[in-house]
Copies of this chain bind each other. A is one copy, B any other.
Amino acid sequence: MGIVAAADENTAPRRRGRRPGGADTRTSLLDAARAVFAERGYDGATVRVIAERAGVDPAMVNHWFGGKEPLFVAALNLPADPATILGEAVSGDPDELAERILCRLLEVWDSTGGAQFAALLQSIATQDVAAALLREFIARVLVGKVLREVAPDRPELRATLCGTQMFGLAFVRYVLKVEPLASADHATIVSAVAPNLQRYLTGPLP
């Protein structure tokens, strides 16, 4: 799954020189993007460096992904684009932001029975590259897209606190599978967890 599989593909021998723009160009760009984003962070990873690592023309990034940010999101290989989910959730009553985020996350996670999250966790626990990509994800998507807009004070701390609640929820529900949370319906989870997530998003912090 996802990042695990990508890392394995990375060990395949790399052809030299620029390649024509076929389906394997897309795969090469994804592999190169995972490696370069993890090594240099989002800001340090330029389209030029990623294309060079993939051995393709930099114009192929725009051709296949439409830019650096969509390439980054594709490299994370999540079941739905979290930038889109969180971006959509931001519109609407800010006091119900946590509720909207949790509803969408539960839908996405449950759609693979939690398998995608479990695979992601396994790759994080065993590969530093996956942890580095997720750190970047929290910084770029959670802080950049959501928190700077809804809670301009201490967005970085808020993003990590939101991360603790969201990862912890997925971990206990899909990996540890502890009842009654493992089979609780969405309404129960949202009403139990949303007030806590909302405090991290917009409540008073120390």
Contacts and interface: CB of A to CB of B under 8 A. Distances in A.
Given A139-B178, A163-B178, 19 more contacts: A122-B125, A124-B175, A124-B176, A125-B125, A125-B126, A131-B176, A134-B176, A138-B176, A157-B180, A157-B181, A157-B192, A160-B172, A163-B168, A163-B176, A163-B181, A164-B181, A167-B167, A167-B168, A192-B200
- Secondary structure at chain A's binding surface: helix, strand, loop or mixed? helix
Measured as residues with beta carbon below 8 angstroms from the partner, the interface class of chain A is 35 or more
Contact of A126 (B122, B139, B184): B122
Contact of A199 (B125, B172, B176, B195): B195
A84 interface: no
Contacts of A195: 199
A192 B159 CA distance: 12
Interface string A96-138: 0000000000000000000000100110111000010011001
Contacts of A118: 125
A122 B125 CA distance: 5
A11 interface: no
A200 B197 CA distance: 12
A148 B125 CA distance: 33
